[in-house]
Every structure is written in structure tokens, then in C-alpha cells.
């Protein structure tokens, strides 16, 4: 999997955590995803399902398609909130554009309590117009 991500993630701890989390999710690496999630994590996929807890989250991430390329465009953090957006190109040529909004358990912790994901996809690999 080709990975493109911002260079500034190393100087802000939460940005680094989110950069590594998004890469781990794209690679279906559950062992790296679960440690940063609260036990009662909730993940709302806009227009889709609500995941409750680590077990449902692990099943969801495990079912992701094989990824050819991940591009993380932006990661923004402030206090206990954060957001990240980017693109994922699957090995089958489907382009997913995403925005994740994160809520950490507190401003001082690196454990994620909530995720909300917004996205779109195109079968032809081209961004939606």
C-alpha cells in the first residue's frame, strides 16, 4: 500500500496518533487500531451504521477492501476534538474520499471515544464532481 501523509504529524502527539490510526485502519491492522480506542468507542458512519464498542469496530475494519493507496490530506487537532480527511484508492480502482471527526476521552488523553465518518466513492477512481 502506498501511503502519502502530512509531514507535520511528528510534532503534535495527537496528530501522530491519528496518522498512525488511519494508516492502521487502511491496512486492516486491528492490533494497532484497538489500543487507541476506548472500550465503549462509538463510530457513526454517516448514512450508514453505528458501531458500538471495540468488537464491532474490529469487525468493521477487518472487512475493509484491500487498499492500493492512502493519502491523508489534513489532520487538525484542538483539545479533545480532531478531524482528518483524505482519499483511499482500493486495489479494484474505487476511490473513497473521507473525513473522520474524532472525540478523545479528554484533552490530555490519546484515547478515542467517538468517531464520525463522512465519505463518498467513485467506481472509476476519479473524484466526485
* Domain map (residue ranges) of the chain: 2-122
Q: What are the grid coordinates assigned to 114, written together?
A: 467517538
Q: Walk across the sheet containing 112-122 and list its strands.
A: 2-4, 67-78, 81-90, 95-104, 112-122, 37-45, 50-52
Q: What is the mean pLDDT of residues 47-58?
A: 93
Q: What is the pLDDT, as a whole number, of residue 126?
A: 46
Residue 128 has pLDDT above 70, yes or no: no
What pLDDT, on the 0 to 100 scale, is given for residue 107? 87
This prediction's pTM: 0.89
Q: What is the pLDDT of residues 83-112, one digit of tens each?
A: 999 999 999 999 999 999 999 999 888 999
**Does CATH number 3.10.450.50 belong to domain 2-122?**
yes
Amino acid at each position: 500500500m502506498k501511503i502519502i501523509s502530512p509531514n507535520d504529524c511528528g510534532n503534535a502527539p495527537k496528530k501522530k496518533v491519528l496518522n498512525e490510526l488511519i494508516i492502521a485502519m487502511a491496512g486492516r491492522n486491528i492490533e494497532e487500531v484497538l489500543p487507541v480506542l476506548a472500550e465503549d468507542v462509538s463510530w457513526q458512519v454517516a448514512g450508514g451504521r453505528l458501531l458500538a464498542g471495540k468488537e464491532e469496530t474490529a469487525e468493521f475494519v477487518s472487512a475493509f477492501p484491500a487498499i492500493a493507496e492512502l493519502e491523508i490530506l489534513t489532520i487538525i487537532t484542538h483539545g479533545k476534538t480532531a478531524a482528518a480527511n483524505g482519499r483511499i484508492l482500493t486495489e479494484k480502482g474505487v476511490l473513497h474520499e473521507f473525513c473522520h471527526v474524532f472525540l478523545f476521552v479528554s484533552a490530555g488523553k490519546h484515547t478515542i471515544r467517538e468517531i464520525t465518518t463522512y465519505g463518498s466513492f467513485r467506481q472509476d477512481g476519479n473524484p466526485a464532481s
